[in-house]
Structure 1
Amino acid sequence: MAKIMIVDDAKFMRTTLTNILIKAGHEIVGEAENGKIAVSLYRTTQPDLVTMDITMPEMSGLKATQMIKSEFPDARIIMCSAMGQQKMVVEAIETGAKDFIVKPFDENRVLDTINRVLK
């Protein structure tokens, strides 16, 4: 079981991921709707893993990933992207994201990716 933080500006997406992860036995230690909140929440919750949306208001997932990784080099972050955001996904991996999952979420693919990154 891992402690996971979910970051997405869409409540529906956070709820979808929460349901998938709780069903698989993980614990949700925090939710954030933008990158700025994600960075401060990461400091207080120190999760095992973060699912990070790329496109969000106030601060993007890319910027939040950079900030978290600069403070916590061992942070494990998985980017969540919509179809057609491949360029941003590549950028995210370059800034330190470990992997990515594509929306709409496929339960098996989400869990496979998370288990692979947690190993």
Structure 2
Amino acid sequence: MKTKVLIVDDAAFMRLVLKNMLDKNGFEVVGEAANGQEAIDKYKSLSPDLVTMDITMPVMEGIEAVKHIKQLDAEAKIIMCSAMGQQIMVVQSLQAGAKDFIVKPFQEERVLESIRRVVGA
């Protein structure tokens, strides 16, 4: 059974890059969201196995969305994605409940390694 992934990023191009990467490596992208509020709504309706979550987005930022999703589902598997390799963001993401952190621009091997480790595939 394929791992179902929800991709959350305000940049359509970044969602596309990640979607293509996941599609060709056997993952099923079940949905996309452009901000944290959309991510929460889609998490509820789609029940993905994994969420890739951008940090800096309009409406609701990623770290806030992680907190909400973890309240809905303590077992939620979330990997944060950001162009900002700032240490404080990494720490806040992990404290909020994210399982890992990947930096943009995405390096396919690093993304796949992170996903496989987090979902236990």
TM-score by length of 1: 0.98
- Equivalent in the alignment of 1:109: 110
SS of equivalent residue, structure 1 residue 74: coil
Q: Deviation above 3 Å: which 4+ runs of structure 1?
A: none
SS of equivalent residue, structure 1 residue 28: strand
- Equivalent in the alignment of 2:99: 98
Q: Mind listing any 5+ residue stretches in structure 1 that lack a counterpart?
A: none
- Shift, 1:109, TM fit: 0.5
Q: Distance in 2 between matches of 1:39 and 1:87?
A: 23
- Equivalent in the alignment of 2:84: 83
- Equivalent in the alignment of 2:22: 21
Q: Distance in 2 between matches of 1:56 and 1:118?
A: 25
Q: Please provide the CA RMSD for this pair.
A: 0.7
- Equivalent in the alignment of 2:40: 39
Identity level (%): 59
Q: Distance in 1 between matches of 2:108 and 2:87?
A: 20
- Shift, 1:45, TM fit: 0.2
TM-score by length of 2: 0.96
Q: Distance in 1 between matches of 2:85 and 2:26?
A: 31
SS of equivalent residue, structure 1 residue 58: coil
